[in-house]
A and B are shown apart, each in its own frame.
Chain A
Amino acid sequence: MKIKNNIAVSDNGFVFNPASGESFTVNQVGLDILNMLRKGEKQETIVQQLSEKYQADTAVIERDFSDFQAMVKQYHLHQNEE
């Protein structure tokens, strides 16, 4: 999954969707994920990088990543796959 190119993400976790005018906040782990998604990183890489940075089981990170991804879709911040 990739984030839409026009979504603005600030360094301190403020997210803005200019198409809808909606704003969001993300916490630090959410910010890390959003930034990696914007770069087009795959799930495996994201989970691995998070487990290197944070004190948590890979299984927990994987579960939370899926949930976060679902919310990104719910808020229509993702690019539709061709």
Chain B
Amino acid sequence: MTAKARYERPLIKKLESNMPNKFGMRTEFEPVTHIDGVSVASLIADYGSPVFVLSEQKIRQRFKAARQAFETRYPRVQFAWSYKTNYLSAVCNVFHQEGSWAEVVSGFEYDKAIRHGVDGSNIIFNGPDKTEEDLRKAITNNSLIHIDHLDELYMIQEIARETKQKPKVAIRVNMDTGIYPMWDRFGFNYENGQAWDALNKIMFSGLLDLVGLHTHIGTFMLSPNAYAIAASKLANLAQRVQQKYGHEIKYIDMGGGFSSRNTLKGAYLPGIDTNPSIDDFAEAITSALMNSDYRPKTPPLLILETGRALIDEAGYLLGSVIANKRLSDGRRATILDVGVNLLFTSFWYDHKITPAQEFTSYTEDTVLYGPLCMNIDVVRENISLPLLNKGDKVVIHHVGAYNMTQWMQFITLRPNVVMIDMDGKPHLIRKNESIDSIENLEEIPPHLSHFEL
């Protein structure tokens, strides 16, 4: 008996006779079968589908490249890991091992950093929501408090007066850097004088130790020049403080917001080809600082709260095909077990998605849906993929930032998260949820505990 031929589902594809794509974009049918030497099939077999996978090697590589980009251009640089980007303890500790401080934006994140063993003086406390209890804790621990609004400033002054402690503070400054939309909801505005007023209030009170200036101009920034403008404006404020009060600002915190290699929805070209590199941002910021008129005895420490650009590429989401469908207009639709509940960033990006097994070169235009019974659950509106079948595996790339913090427990449960260590060994770093993880938090009043149907 002769062996049967390999089956591939039948395909008929219309040849479009419109203008060819002048950029010659490739379709993503090159399979990605392994991550850091571990097969996708074995990761799914051992940890289920879907599963988030993080590469420790990639995190460290990206961090070292970023540090090098800044340290070769400026003498004093400090990174602070942005907890909200990914606060899984294993991830935070990789960054802390690399020398990153912690940058937190809530009491919960603050407590997490303390639990990880970060010294209070190495925690930067940002954000508009710091309770009195949070502030008292941060002041006692000598943390760096970045003041967001006047109510917070007055509360800190009140605590300082009462406890006879001198809190270490900075103000967050928002400003016009030539980008749209301008972020003006956090901190004090530069152009209308709010920031200068706040600095005067701090200096006149004598109750607080003004140690720094902070800004965070936006997210997924595609213009390094905006950072140059921001750095110049902060340096200008520092110089005015020095001139008026003879007081040296010890650090300038440029926040984060550097783009990763993802492709924003609506972008014509892939992000990997067009987004600025970390060196571009480093060049813009350090040149602006060094060319400024602020000349203290010691150059101010340059703090960076980069999150996304350091972790996005280190994260993968592995999933499986649930089913194929045909839409009313003839388009192919494929349903994955990965939806917007896990992949929050699919609202912003056209994620790179590749199959995890070999296929022929035939591809078809496909809409990728998630498993949720909700119309919003679209992972990719249009992607050219090989002829996937039920049960086939896919790898979604560049998902390390925000997905493991902004994910939703909605309709389904959240899956395992695995980190592959430097030796290629996978470790479970967050266990998947069970129905108990959800129901254990609930209480049923006695009169609702029984019913008959």
Contacts and interface: CB of A to CB of B under 8 A. Distances in A.
A30 B81 CA distance: 53
Contact of B12 (A53, A56, A65, A75): A75
Interface stretch (B2-10, B34-42, B127-135, B373-381): B2-10
B8 A28 contact: yes
Interface residues of A, number: 29
Contacts, number: 75
Contacts of B17: 23
B6 A54 contact: yes
8 contacts: A22-B15, A24-B14, A25-B11, A26-B13, A29-B7, A29-B10, A54-B5, A61-B7
Contacts of A1: none
Interface in A22-44: 22-30, 32-34
B362 interface: yes
Give the bracket for the number of chain B residues in contact with chain A.
Answer: 20 to 34
Interface in A12-29: 15, 22-29
A49 to B, nearest CB: 12
Contacts of B3: 55
Contacts of B15: 22-25
B4 A54 contact: yes
Contacts of A70: 326, 330
A67 B332 CA distance: 10
A53 B14 contact: no
A61 B9 CA distance: 8
A16 to B, nearest CB: 10
Given A23-B15, A24-B15, A74-B330, A30 B4 contact: no
A28 to B, nearest CB: 7
B16 to A, nearest CB: 9
